[in-house]
Amino acid sequence: MSINFDTKFSFDNPNIKKFLISDTESTYKVEPEALTGFSHHVDNRRHSLNPDLNRAEHNELVVFLQEELYQLFEGGSRQPNGEFDGGSAVGLHRVFVALEHSVNIYSDFWLFLRDSLTEETKEYASQVFHNYDPSTHGGDVDSYMRSNLNGRLNESDFELETSLNIEKETLLPTEKDISQRVKLFDLLDCNDSPSDNDGQIDIDNMDMGLPQWSYERKSYLKLISTNIVVDDSNPPSDPNVNETISNPDSVAEVENAIDDLMRDIIPSTCGDMARKEIKLLTVAEWPEFRIVWRKKRIKIGCSRITISYPVLQIRISKLVFYAYFKIPQDVGRFVLSIATVCAKRSALTSAVIGIVTSNIAAAISSFTPLFKRCLEAEVKHCLYPGLFLAKKPGGWH
């Protein structure tokens, strides 16, 4: 005889994560494995009960991350139904939100009987199994089963195994933390009615923030997909940071970091190089999420269960985006001024400001050829433009 009241499971299981966001599944089962030489009938299952004969259960708040993918459009217009439409797609934004489910965990006991038993013996074993009453027989199931062998059963004729059930209190999760979505929408400020203002952005004041960029371009966001984050132990919202530095506003620190980045790229034949950094955008409080996995032991009726459960951690980082370029020092101050204007215009024309928070690699791919084309009449060789993202991360809490 084996009575297994010890079991374990993890909410990190991809199948459980898919269950948590399903809008059709309300219960997930963690079933015991089949036993060689034994059979189990669905009628030989019963809930773990409290002494008051109510189903024993444990409530857990389970948090997980979901990715929302938004398409950014510019030049759109609000339709009569209030939705935005039209315009040109200029980039994608990934936003992460923390969702939460309140779930009840309860256990079922499954009786496995040896295949070689007679039908009469199987019926007796099933009767003993269902007659157990915690209010009468106490919590010692092992002693109860032994006392009811009565020569008709041997201890090796049956096995008791634990099955777990995860039951949602509501079919859909609630939103626990949407601060990154809110921050993105505040930065873009682009789902209000698009402005009719066709004025030009002041290219001499680049650190203007995203609202002005959106205002000029009549931009808006449209949700195109949602996906659960399977690998959530690292901050999936972390942009492609070039460098983590103590002060991303420090020109000296940024210059040193860019020099390190370019040291093995610029050939020695280019000679002395002039450099220029232009601050494009500052995001003072950018929220980032991660999940930390912890274990705890819970008791449900007679069952002792070890669960791995998720804990949401949040940090607030400061992001500063720069456009930069290096050109030969002997081109002169006039060409350097032209290059500075080209960098600013290219950053705007290529929608860098609009997508840099979510995909700096795509922003660089768009920015670089435009900048080189703008300056091709003045500088033919040794022209190295780029975008640089510096971050000062906060502490996880």
Q: Which amino acid is at 378?
A: E
For residue 335, pLDDT beyond 80: yes
Coil, strand or helix at 291: strand
Mean pLDDT of 259-285: 86
Residue 137 CB contacts under 8 Å (≥ 6 apart), including other chains: 144
**What is the per-residue pLDDT across 53-91, written as a single tens digit (0 to 9) for each?**
678 899 999 999 999 988 888 888 878 887 788 888 877
Going by their DSSP bridges, the two strands 384-392 and 243-244 should be labelled as parallel
Q: Where are the domains of the chain?
A: 2-63+102-168
> Which phi and psi angles does 307 have, rounded to 5°?
-120, 140
**What is the per-residue pLDDT across 338-363, written as a single tens digit (0 to 9) for each?**
999 998 888 877 566 666 666 677 77
Question: Up-side HSE of residue 387: CA atoms within 13 Å toward CB?
Answer: 33
Q: Which of 66-75, 99-108, 227-236 has the highest mean pLDDT?
A: 99-108
Q: Which range among 20-29, 39-48, 113-122, 385-394 shows the weakest confidence by mean pLDDT?
A: 385-394
- CA–CA dist 347, 363 (Å, integer): 8
Residue 44 CB contacts under 8 Å (≥ 6 apart), including other chains: 110, 111, 113, 126, 129, 130
Mean pLDDT of 155-170: 92
pTM of the entire predicted model? 0.79
